[in-house]
Amino acid sequence: MLANQRAMMGVSLANRLFSKVLFRRLGEWAREASLRSIDVVLFEECEAVNYVVVRGLPAEAAGVRAIRRATELKRAIEKVVGTTAVPIGIVRESELRARLGDGFARCYSRLQAAFEGDTEFREDVIRQVTKNVASRVESSGTERRNVILLGAAAYILRELAVFHGYFSERLGDIELYPGQSLFVKKELWLGKYGALRDFALPVLPGFVDVSFLTANAAR
């Protein structure tokens, strides 16, 4: 099933499970699975949004912190690259966005408009982010909770725009995810939402859960 397939993994910079240990295991597993290649996408711009909204950092400090964390992970991955027979490419979100050009901006704008105007899409995004940040909002007041949820929604909309651009170029590739995936992303690719029906992909990415690689991987 996986032999000779191309794969990608999106990396949340705030998740400490993404470490040198995890990437070493990923390289070993990819070799055993005979994957053709892996692209690791570092979401540094999405993470800057997260640092501002969820952690309350000023925008400039958030950007600096996200870039520093992306650089740290890039170095960890580079140490693994030379030890595996499977090519592992490192792509920063900003680089991918630049490559997608106006296509990314149009896609992101459409997703933002749908979040405001398509009730079903908005409800699914909020349901997704509530799951993702549950531990951070449990003890928050209503106002702070809403700020966190809307900030996390902005993160996901940006992430969806990046993923859509990536998989539109590379139909049928595999997405690797260590644990919980975005159910709203799968629904989007299937054309569930009326305002975004044309976001459906003619060939769906394969989804492979690699959470087994994360055991005791945090630094």
pLDDT score at 141: 66
Integer CA distances (angstroms), 138 to 81, 133, 135, 144, 181, in order: 40, 9, 6, 11, 21
User: Does any domain span residue 219?
Assistant: no
Range of the domain at 129: 6-213
Instruction: Judge contact between 66 and 45, C-beta under 8 A.
Output: yes
Instruction: Give yes or no for residue 122 having a pLDDT over 90.
Output: yes
Read off the pLDDT band of 137 (50, 70, 90): low
Calculate what percentage of the chain has a pLDDT beyond 90: 18
Q: How confident is the model at residue 112 (pLDDT cuts 50, 70, 90)?
A: very high
Res 70: pLDDT: 86
Q: Judge whether 156 lies within some domain.
A: yes
Residue 35 dihedral angles phi and psi, to the nearest 5°: -65, 150
Domain of residue 161, CATH code: 3.40.50.11710
Paired tokens of 117: 């105007």
On the question of pLDDT at 151 being above 90, the answer is no
Three-point CA angle 177, 134, 151, nearest 5°? 80
| Confidence grade of residue 149 (pLDDT, cut at 50, 70, 90) | confident
Domain membership of residue 218 (yes or no) is no
9 within 8 A of 41, measured Cβ to Cβ: yes
Is residue 30 in a domain? yes
Residues 32-91 have pLDDT tens digits of: 888 999 998 888 888 787 777 767 778 888 888 888 888 888 888 888 776 667 888 888
Q: What is the pLDDT of residue 214?
A: 81
Number of domains forming the structure of the chain: 1
164 part of a folded domain = yes
Q: Does 166 have pLDDT greater than 80?
A: yes
